[in-house]
């Protein structure tokens, strides 16, 4: 008998029929003698709908109220699933984040879980009750409802698994595992039997939305065995593993992409010590995160400075740059939102040279211009025009031999 935390995503909770299907799955794990704690997302599309409603009143409104509104999506699905479980004879009780409670910091819309009081959930498990917990939400130190950022139910699932010392955390979604790339963009993508935490962390942080990055961080930190599986088809899914087998590691495990970036360039900045800090300081002060940074080699005492930010922060970042351009003696400021970042990830890169040049050659052969490049030990990212996203992903998927191996 094991204690298992199961998280069901938005598509899995997308209708009453699907919720009843989830209830039957949970019931079958119970019948096999396992203790189960369930975490659920809102019905697919619901969080978008709620946030749109909030923005229709004031797009820059108080984030506390955005969270109050967004968190209601999960309050509906916990109740529905608990009803569906009871209907088929499984004792169940639903919990919002604050009823558990799941304590977070006070950073609305991107709160971090600080502590979980798992006592009530443990007691339920011991009495044969299946607790159904709302994902994505928590309670701030001042008693307000917070949310954990988009896709945050994954993190609720893993954090609960850590707090309950569960034997496994299962993330049930609409794909049957982690693929070499998003199967919606490359239908030839292949399911991975396993992927290392380190790679999954990179894939998630570089844009693969199959797992929220913080859920992977949590799983790595607390050594929670984590598996991604389909709600709709049976299968082994993908295990996120701590072990690395250097001999067997493929060069590239996956390709991630991120459509959420925007690029800003300050042209003709005086090439002097402290200029990068002078440009990025005000951006940091405005709480805007910077991703990639490129400073050109200067000529005639001037240089161009380019960086990327989240598209949601683009207008604000551009405003700041225009404001300080004069003070810094820059020639001008320009920006672009029609860009994407495409990244290759693989622990095998550590021991192999030539990945970058192969990547650049393949993209060039496909006629794709690279705007920016950044590398680290196990990843290479490039920024390209958004219209080339699909072509870039498919070109690289093929060039690095990631397709499904067809039986001869």
Applying CB under 5 A, the residues found at the interface with Mg ion are 9, 151
Could you say whether residue 49 binds ligand ADP (CB under 6 A)? Answer: no
The C-alpha torsion from 122 through 19 and 208 to 171, rounded to 10°, is: 30
**Distance of closest approach, residue 133 Cβ to ligand ASP, in angstroms:** 12
What b-and-e string marks burial along 15-28, b requiring 16 or more CB atoms within 10 Å of the CB? eeebbbbbbebbbe
Contact in structure between 10 and 43 (CB atoms under 8 Å): yes
Q: Compose the 85-114 pattern: x for residues touching ligand ASP by CB under 6 A, - for all others.
A: ------------------------------
135 binds, among ligand ASP, ligand ADP, Mg ion, none (CB under 5 to 8 A by kind): ligand ASP
Residue linked to tokens 């200029």: 275
150 binds, among ligand ADP, ligand ASP, Mg ion, none (CB under 5 to 8 A by kind): ligand ASP
400 binds, among ligand ADP, ligand ASP, Mg ion, none (CB under 5 to 8 A by kind): none
Q: Of the two residues 73 and 346, which places its CB atom closer to ligand ASP in the complex?
A: 73
Report the residue from 41, 96, 104, 303 that binds ligand ADP according to the rule CB under 6 A: 41
Q: Are strands 130-134 and 145-147 parallel, antiparallel or unpaired?
A: unpaired
Could you say whether residue 150 binds ligand ASP (CB under 6 A)? Answer: yes
Residue 12: CB partners within 8 Å, gap ≥ 6?
Answer: 18, 22, 41, 172, 173, 174, 231, 232
Q: Of the two residues 78 and 269, which places its CB atom closer to ligand ASP in the complex?
A: 78
Angle at 378 between CA 375 and CA 379, to 5 degrees: 45
Q: Which stretch binds ligand ADP (CB under 6 A): 5-13, 56-64, 73-81, 123-131?
A: 5-13
What b-and-e string marks burial along 325-356, b requiring 16 or more CB atoms within 10 Å of the CB? beebebeebebbeebbbbbbbbbbbeeeeebe
Contact in structure between 356 and 399 (CB atoms under 8 Å): no
Report the residue from 136, 172, 305, 307 that binds ligand ASP according to the rule CB under 6 A: 136
**Distance of closest approach, residue 238 Cβ to ligand ADP, in angstroms:** 8
- Of 233, 280, 257, 250, nearest in space to 339 by CA: 257
Could you say whether residue 156 binds ligand ADP (CB under 6 A)? Answer: no
Q: 122: left (phi > 0), else alpha (psi -120 to 50), else beta?
A: alpha
Could you say whether residue 41 binds ligand ASP (CB under 6 A)? Answer: yes
- Of 224, 239, 247, nearest in space to 194 by CA: 239
Report the residue from 92, 140, 153, 238 that binds ligand ASP according to the rule CB under 6 A: 153
Alpha helical stretches, state H, 307-408: 314-328, 355-365, 389-399
Tokens encoding 96: 């919002």
Residue in the shown chain whose Cβ atom is closest to ligand ADP: 9
Residues 331-370 that bind ligand ADP (CB under 6 A): none
Cα radius of gyration (the chain): 23
Could you say whether residue 147 binds ligand ADP (CB under 6 A)? Answer: no
Q: Compose the 244-273 pattern: x for residues touching ligand ADP by CB under 6 A, - for all others.
A: ----------x-------------------
Report the residue from 10, 138, 207, 220 that binds ligand ASP according to the rule CB under 6 A: 10
Report the residue from 49, 87, 184, 259 that binds ligand ADP according to the rule CB under 6 A: 184
Q: Which stretch binds ligand ADP (CB under 6 A): 207-215, 260-268, 358-366, 398-406?
A: 207-215
Round to whole Å and give the CA distance between 200 and 210.
Answer: 10
**Distance of closest approach, residue 116 Cβ to ligand ASP, in angstroms:** 17
Residue linked to tokens 């009495």: 127
Could you say whether residue 205 binds ligand ASP (CB under 6 A)? Answer: no
136 binds, among Mg ion, ligand ASP, ligand ADP, none (CB under 5 to 8 A by kind): ligand ASP
Give the HSE-up count for residue 115: Cα atoms under 13 Å, Cβ half-sphere. Answer: 4
Q: Compose the 7-26 pattern: x for residues touching ligand ADP by CB under 6 A, - for all others.
A: --xxxx--------------
Residues that bind ligand ADP (CB under 6 A): 9-12, 41, 151, 173-175, 178-179, 181-182, 184, 208-210, 254
């Amino acid at each position: 008998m094991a204690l298992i935390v199961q998280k069901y995503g938005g598509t899995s909770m997308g209708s009453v029929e699907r919720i009843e299907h989830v209830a039957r799955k949970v019931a079958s794990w119970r019948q096999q003698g396992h203790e189960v704690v369930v975490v659920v997302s809102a019905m697919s599309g619901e969080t978008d709908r709620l946030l749109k409603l909030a923005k229709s009143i004031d797009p820059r409104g108080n984030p506390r109220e955005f969270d109050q509104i967004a968190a209601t999506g999960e309050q509906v699905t916990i109740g529905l699933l608990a009803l569906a479980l009871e209907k088929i004879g499984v004792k169940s009780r639903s919990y919002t984040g604050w009823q558990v409670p799941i304590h977070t910091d006070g950073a609305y819309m991107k709160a971090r879980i600080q502590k979980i009081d798992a006592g009530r959930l443990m007691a339920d498990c011991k009495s044969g009750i299946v607790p159904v917990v709302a994902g994505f939400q928590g309670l701030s130190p001042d008693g307000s409802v917070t949310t954990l950022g988009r896709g945050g139910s994954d993190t609720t699932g893993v954090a609960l698994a850590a707090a309950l010392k569960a034997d496994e955390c299962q993330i049930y979604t609409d794909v049957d595992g982690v693929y070499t790339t998003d199967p919606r963009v490359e239908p030839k993508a292949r399911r991975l039997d396993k992927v290392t935490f380190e790679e999954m962390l990179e894939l998630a942080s570089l844009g693969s939305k199959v797992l929220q990055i913080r859920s992977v961080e949590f799983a790595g930190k607390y050594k929670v065995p984590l598996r991604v599986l389909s709600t709709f088809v049976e299968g082994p899914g993908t295990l996120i593993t701590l072990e690395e087998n250097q001999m067997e590691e493929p060069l590239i495990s996956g390709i991630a992409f991120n459509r959420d970036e925007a690029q800003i360039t300050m042209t003709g900045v005086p090439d002097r010590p402290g200029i990068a800090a002078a440009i990025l300081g005000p951006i940091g002060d405005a709480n805007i995160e910077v991703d990639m940074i490129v400073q050109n080699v200067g000529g005639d005492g001037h240089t161009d400075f380019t960086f990327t930010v989240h598209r949601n922060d683009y207008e604000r970042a551009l405003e700041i740059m225009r404001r300080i351009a004069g003070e810094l003696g820059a020639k001008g400021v320009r920006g672009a939102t029609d860009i994407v970042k495409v990244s290759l990830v693989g622990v095998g890169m550590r021991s192999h040279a030539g990945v970058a040049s192969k990547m650049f050659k393949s993209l060039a052969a496909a006629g794709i211009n690279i705007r920016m490049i950044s590398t680290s030990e196990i990843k290479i990212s490039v920024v390209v025009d958004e219209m080339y996203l699909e072509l870039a992903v498919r070109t690289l998927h093929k060039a690095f031999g990631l397709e499904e191996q067809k039986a001869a």
